[in-house]
């Protein structure tokens, strides 16, 4: 599709840069340019634009969005801002805009932004799921990776994995990836990114699963500011229907902030020893601060379970004092073989007990959150 662009930009320098980018973008033609929205409303219809680029650093221009929607019912409005902000983006989208692009922008960034809006928009109904273990060695990363593949395969939706196991993240190894950027650079640059430019920090693992890889060195974890990470989560969720976050072990400002910013948290434990139950009880005591939302937002999953009977599940629930959402069976040989081949267990054997258990877990959660898992 070819785009006839109506550009509104108050800043003269940015206006010239934007005109240059539009002229260089294949399939884009500058139909008209204005330094204020009044001109766009008064004369712009003559040029029959189907894409409006609107500077929203001006409050006046934000207020005019509903009028532009009425005047140009067949045009897409893409807002231009100096810094991407989740609340501002939500505000202009409620007014009728399709999304935001950080300025100044290049021709490729403009093309990518419009492609993203055509495919899914920036108003994605997203589910952010964090995976957390109080003491580690629970098979959490395996659970995250295989869940991502099952969601992508069944739902045919794009899935983002964020490797936020800050010191010892293994997601790049799991998927045999060689990232040029990591969570460190993404959090460092977040103030200057938009959902479109952020995508380049992810590495495709499959056609529908993309990974923001973990730190290169354990000491890099100190470079990540929790506030920036929460902002990053908001930006990622505007582009991906599913965002799965593999968290570091234990409670910290970072892990707590991430879980509070998510829609759902899987508390992952392994069938290890009596000590496992003690750690879980301590963790659940901390989570009690979530109050009435606790059981809706926190789901307990036991991994590597030998005895998956209902009787054993009930016994554990009575011991822990909290409902168990799912048992994932012990498939050590399959998981090890998959790791050796640089693949996932659910990829090698989609019909395996582990894959079946993950499928059932997601079906059970269907409708209770935003997980759109088919009941088939």
Q: Which domains does the chain have, with CATH numbers?
A: 3-119 (3.40.50.2300), 127-365 (3.40.50.300)
Decide: residue 187, CB within 10 A, 0-12 exposed, 13-18 middle, 19+ buried: buried
Whether residue 183 is predicted with pLDDT greater than 50 in this model: the reply is yes
What's the pLDDT tens digit per position in 195-236?
778 888 999 998 899 999 999 899 999 999 999 999 999 888
Per-residue pLDDT, averaged over 72-96, amounts to 87
* Cβ-contact 291, 158 below 8 angstroms: no
Mean pLDDT of 190-198: 81
What pLDDT, on a 0 to 100 scale, did the predictor assign at position 343?
54
pLDDT of 95-112, one tens digit each? 888 888 889 999 998 998
pLDDT in tens, 265-281: 999 988 756 677 788 88
pLDDT band, very low/low/confident/very high, at 347 (cuts 50, 70, 90)? low
Q: What is the mean pLDDT of residues 22-39?
A: 91
- pLDDT (0 to 100) of residue 376: 38
238: pLDDT confidence band, cut at 50, 70 and 90?
Answer: confident
Residue 373: per-residue pLDDT: 46
When pLDDT is cut at 50, 70 and 90, the band that residue 342 belongs to is: low
How much is the pLDDT for 331? 67
Q: How many CB atoms lie within 10 A of CB 309?
A: 10
The stretch 142-158 carries a mean pLDDT of 86
Find the mean pLDDT for residues 25-36: 92
Q: Considering only residues 52 and 339, tell me which one the structure prediction assigns the higher pLDDT.
A: 52
Q: 375: pLDDT confidence band, cut at 50, 70 and 90?
A: very low
By mean pLDDT, which of 85-99, 190-204, 341-355 is the weakest? Answer: 341-355
Would you say residue 372 has pLDDT above 60?
A: no
């Amino acid at each position: 599709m070819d785009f006839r662009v109506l550009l509104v930009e108050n800043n003269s320098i940015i206006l010239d840069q934007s005109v240059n980018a539009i002229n260089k973008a294949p399939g884009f033609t500058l139909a008209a340019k204005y330094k204020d929205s009044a001109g766009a409303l008064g004369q712009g219809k003559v040029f029959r634009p189907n894409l409006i680029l609107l500077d929203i650093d001006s409050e006046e221009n934000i207020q005019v969005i509903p009028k532009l929607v009425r005047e140009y019912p067949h045009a897409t409005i893409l807002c231009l801002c100096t810094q991407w902000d989740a609340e501002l983006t939500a505000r202009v989208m409620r007014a009728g805009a399709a999304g935001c692009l950080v300025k100044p922008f290049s021709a490729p960034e403009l093309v990518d932004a419009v492609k993203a809006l055509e495919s899914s928009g920036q108003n994605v109904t997203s589910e952010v799921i964090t995976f957390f273990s109080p003491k580690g060695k629970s098979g959490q990363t395996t659970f995250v990776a295989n869940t991502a593949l099952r969601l992508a395969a069944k739902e045919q939706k794009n899935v983002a994995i964020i490797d936020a196991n800050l010191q010892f993240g293994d997601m790049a190894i799991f998927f045999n990836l060689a990232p040029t950027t990591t969570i460190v650079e993404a959090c460092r640059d977040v103030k200057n990114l938009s959902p479109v430019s952020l995508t380049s920090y992810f590495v495709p693992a499959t056609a529908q699963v993309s990974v923001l890889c973990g730190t290169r060195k354990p000491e890099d974890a100190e470079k990540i500011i929790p506030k920036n990470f929460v902002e990053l989560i908001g930006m990622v969720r505007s582009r991906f229907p599913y965002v799965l976050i593999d968290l570091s072990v234990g409670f910290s400002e970072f892990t707590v902030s991430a879980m509070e910013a998510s829609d759902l948290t899987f508390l992952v434990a392994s069938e290890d020893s009596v000590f496992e139950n003690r750690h879980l009880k301590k963790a659940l005591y901390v989570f009690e601060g979530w109050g009435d939302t606790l059981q809706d937002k926190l789901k307990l999953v036991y991994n590597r379970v030998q005895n998956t009977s209902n009787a054993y599940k009930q016994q554990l629930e009575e011991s822990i004092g909290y409902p168990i959402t799912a048992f994932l069976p012990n498939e050590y040989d399959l998981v090890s073989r998959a790791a050796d081949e640089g693949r996932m267990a659910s990829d090698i054997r989609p019909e395996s007990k582990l894959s079946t258990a993950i499928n059932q877990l997601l079906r059970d959660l269907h409708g209770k959150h935003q997980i759109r898992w088919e009941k088939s």
